[in-house]
Structure 1
Amino acid sequence: MRLVERSYSTKLHRPRPAIYTEPDGSFVIISTSWGNPEDGQKVNDDIAKYIQAAKADVEVTSPFEFLTALTNEANYLRIASLISNEQIYRSANKNEYISGVETLVLLHKGSQMAYAQVGAPHLLIQKPGRPLAPVAIGYEASLEMSGVENQILAPLPQTMLGIDASLNIRCGDFHVDEGDRLVLYAGSFWPDSLWTSSQANNLQQLTQKMVQQNPEAPFWLGVVDLENF
């Protein structure tokens, strides 16, 4: 996998995510820290360490069970996220909320893409000649609070890793083909151009359309090209 990304800033602040890409392109981690900026990188490091061990068939102990409804790869991502959640919760937030992290992990193996998601970015897929389709999307608290006037409020995450001993993770896997692209989007404003654009593979053009529609809404946008089929 090959990720290209950019952040668009306004007077409203959205933290820039910490990004980890495995050297062979097999998995990508995008983590956004709301609090201590170093926690995003810490989550990436913890998750990457577990996935690397699992892929190498290294025996690793875990207090979390495999779910039979998920593939091995989806289980790896789920357990890695739960381990990281526990570490952040115990080290930073057990007595007082200090930091929370949104994260998306993608693991590519052949024609299968496994994912685990806590908060943003949202995950969408574009197949050649077709519009974008959602795979895993969330709901930001700022959108819920915007009211009938649809005000653009400061970003406010709804779900984060590390703020509770338990964790709600969206996870699973889906089929991908050569030529497919994934679009990753973190933002509380959903512009029409995100769904109607036929240029989702062109990060610059897609960014321009989104900014033109609402220049006051900050966002982060990434496009993942699938390689090594």
Structure 2
Amino acid sequence: MKLQERSYSTKILRPKPLIHSEDDGSLVVVATSWGQPEHAQRVVDEVVKYVSAAKADVEVTSPFEFLTCLTDEVNYVRTSILIANDVLYRGENRNQYFSGVEVLTLFKRGPQVAYAHVGCPSLFLQRNGQHMQPLSIGLDLSSELQDNMNPLPPLPAQLLGLDPTCNIQCGHTYVREGDQLVLLASNSVATSLWGRESYQQDLSAITNSMIQESPESPFWLGLIAV
């Protein structure tokens, strides 16, 4: 998996995510800190440590149950986020909130891509020759509060590290050569992004179209060729 990404802010700022991508393309982690920037790195470190050990068949212990309804790979990314949530909550936020983190983890093994996330970015799949379809959506609460055309500052709906438990959206999909994953952190999905054709993979052209459509709305966009 090879990631291209672009962050766009106006007078309204959206935090730029921290990106981790394994050299072999098997693991991508996108973490956005709302508070202390170093907490995103802490989450990434925990996720990478657990998934790397699990995919290498190293015996790892976890206080969290594997769910039989999910594939092993989905369990790996889900458990890694649960561990990161526990570390961040117990180490930083138990007595007083310092920051929360949005995180998306993607793990590719063979044709399967397993995903798990808390909050944004949302995850879409664009199959070769088809239009984009949603896989899992991370909400931005500013879209629910907005009552006119003027965008509000981003407001995350789900954050890691604020509670002993967290709401993880997870699953998997199967990909083929030419397919693409689309990652988006925004308060809405631009029409130009929904309507683009699968062959349109120029990140600069795509983001320019999105900016022209809504110049005051900040966003982060990532494109992953699988």
Q: TM-score, normalised by structure 2?
A: 0.97
Letter in 1 for 2:173: F
Q: C-alpha deviations, 1:80-136, integer Å up to 9, x for none?
A: 000000000011111111100001000011111100011011100111221110000
Task: Report sequence identity in percent.
Answer: 51
Which SS does the other structure have where 2:54 is aligned?
A: helix
- Equivalent residues in 2 for 1:1-229 (5 A)? 1-147=1-147, 149-198=148-197, 200-226=200-226
Distance in 2 (CA, whole Å) between partners of 1:193 and 1:204 is 13
Letter in 2 for 1:176: V
Structure 1 residue 200: Cα displacement: 4.8
Which SS does the other structure have where 1:174 is aligned?
A: strand
Letter in 1 for 2:68: T
Gaps of 5+ in 2: none
Q: Deviating runs (4+, > 3 A) in structure 1?
A: none
Distance in 2 (CA, whole Å) between partners of 1:15 and 1:38 is 13
Q: How many residues end up aligned between the 2 structures? A: 225
CA RMSD after TM alignment:
1.0
Distance in 1 (CA, whole Å) between partners of 2:200 and 2:70 is 29
Structure 1 residue 202: Cα displacement: 1.7
Q: C-alpha deviations, 1:145-176, integer Å up to 9, x for none?
A: 102x2430001100011011001100111111
Structure 1 residue 48: Cα displacement: 0.1
Which SS does the other structure have where 2:204 is aligned?
A: helix
